[in-house]
Amino acid sequence: MKRYVIERDIPGVGNLDDAQLRDAAKASNSALAELSGKAQWVQSYVVDDKTFCIYLADSKDSVLEHAQLSGFPANKITEVRNIIDPMTARN
């Protein structure tokens, strides 16, 4: 599975309350269930008018299929090439 960052333009998403975010998560989970293991949602970062979602997926096409099934836009999909963190400096 490849790792992707999905940028979703969703005006006002940063103002959604807990119940609305829970409903969004349920919609995403339902779409993932239909994809039969082709994609996995890791987490999402919610800002004012966007979300930045981290997904594991077998292909960009599966990410696009999830967007179509869930009803959430996938304005930009970027494959992650590598991951670094503070511990990378110790090697």
DSSP 73: -
Place of tokens 């292909």: 59
56, 42 in Cβ contact below 8 A? yes
Q: For domain 2-82, is the CATH number 3.40.50.720? A: no
56 class by beta-carbon count within 10 Å (0-12 exposed, 13-18 middle, 19+ buried): middle
In this prediction, residue 91 carries a pLDDT of 64
Place of tokens 């304005």: 75
In this prediction, residue 11 carries a pLDDT of 96
Alpha helices by DSSP H, the chain: 18-34, 60-70
Write out pLDDT tens, residues 49-86. 999 999 999 999 999 999 999 999 999 999 999 999 99
In this prediction, residue 5 carries a pLDDT of 98
The mean predicted confidence, pLDDT, of the chain is 96
Write out pLDDT tens, residues 22-59. 999 999 999 999 999 999 999 999 999 999 999 999 99
Confidence of residue 12 (pLDDT cuts 50, 70, 90): very high
- Is the whole-model pTM more than 0.85? yes
